[in-house]
Amino acid sequence: GQQVQQSPTSLVLQEGENAELQCNFSTSLNSMQWFYQRPGGSLISVFYNPSGTKQSGRLTSTTVIKERRSSLHISSSQITDSGTYLCAMERTGGYKVVFGSGTRLLVSP
Amino acid sequence: EAAVTQSPRNKVAVTGGKVTLSCNQTNNHNNMYWYRQDTGHGLRLIHYSYGAGSTEKGDIPDGYKASRPSQENFSLILELATPSQTSVYFCASGDRRGDTQYFGPGTRLLVL
C-alpha cells in the first residue's frame, strides 16, 4: 500500500476560506516536507518540517513524527493558492524521499 | 536560491530509441535525484546520487540508467524507450540528508 496518504485528494474553496490538508505515513520517518506545484510547473518547497509547528505567512505546518502525521493549514485562502500540494517523507535508514499523490486545491473568487 | 536546470524541456522519442535527460545544478549540492510524475502516482524516485561517480537505485529503476560524471551534472538514460516511460521527469538536488530538495522545471517525454 501507499506509504504516504494525503487527504483530501481535491478541495474547492471560495476565496477567504481556510483549508486543512492532511498527510499520514505508514512507516517510520526521519522528516517530512510540504511542496507546492502549479499546473504544469515544478515543485517548490513550502515547509521542511521534521517535527512541531512552523508558520510562514498564511501557511502553518504541524508535524507529529511519533504519530506519523502532518497537516498544512492555509488561512484566508487566495486564488493564487490554487495548485497541488504534495507532502513527502524521508524514511528512516536512508536518503529516499517518498511522495504522496497530492491534494489539488482550487480557490475560486 | 538553488538553481536546477533540465534539458530538454520537451522530448518526443520513438519506441526502442535511446533518450538522455540531463540535469545541471549550480549550488554544489552533494545529492541529486531523478523522479517521474504520473497522474495517480505522485512522484516516484528512479535513481539518486550522493556525489560524483555514485548512482543508486530508487524505487522504480527498471528501464533506466543514471550517470553522475561531476558534482553539477546528473543524467537519466533510457537505453530502449517504451511508451510506458511517457511521463514528466523531474531532477532535484539537495545539500545533505534530510535537507529540502530543489527541483528543476521538468522534462515532458512522449514515447511513441
Candidates B35, B41, B56; nearest CB to A101 = B41
- Which residue is listed with cell 531523478? B34
pLDDT tens track of chain B, all 112 residues? Answer: 559 999 999 999 999 999 999 999 998 999 999 999 998 778 999 999 999 999 999 989 999 999 999 999 999 999 999 999 999 999 999 887 667 889 999 999 999 9
Long-range contacts of A9-12 (CB under 8 A, 24+ apart): A9/A101, A9/A102, A9/A103, A9/A104, A10/A103, A10/A104, A10/A105, A10/A106, A11/A103, A11/A104, A11/A105, A11/A106, A12/A105, A12/A106, A12/A107, A12/A108
| Whole-number pLDDT of residue B95 | 80
- Is any Cβ of chain B less than 8 angstroms from the Cβ of A13? no
| Whole-number pLDDT of residue B74 | 98
Q: A8: cis peptide before it, omega within 30°?
A: yes
Test B98 with A42 for CB contact under 8 angstroms: no
Test B103 with A44 for CB contact under 8 angstroms: yes
| Whole-number pLDDT of residue A49 | 81
| Whole-number pLDDT of residue A39 | 86
From chain B, the residues in CB contact with A3 under 8 A are: none
* Burial class, B19, CB count within 10 angstroms (exposed 0-12 / middle 13-18 / buried 19+): buried
- Is any Cβ of chain B less than 8 angstroms from the Cβ of A96? yes
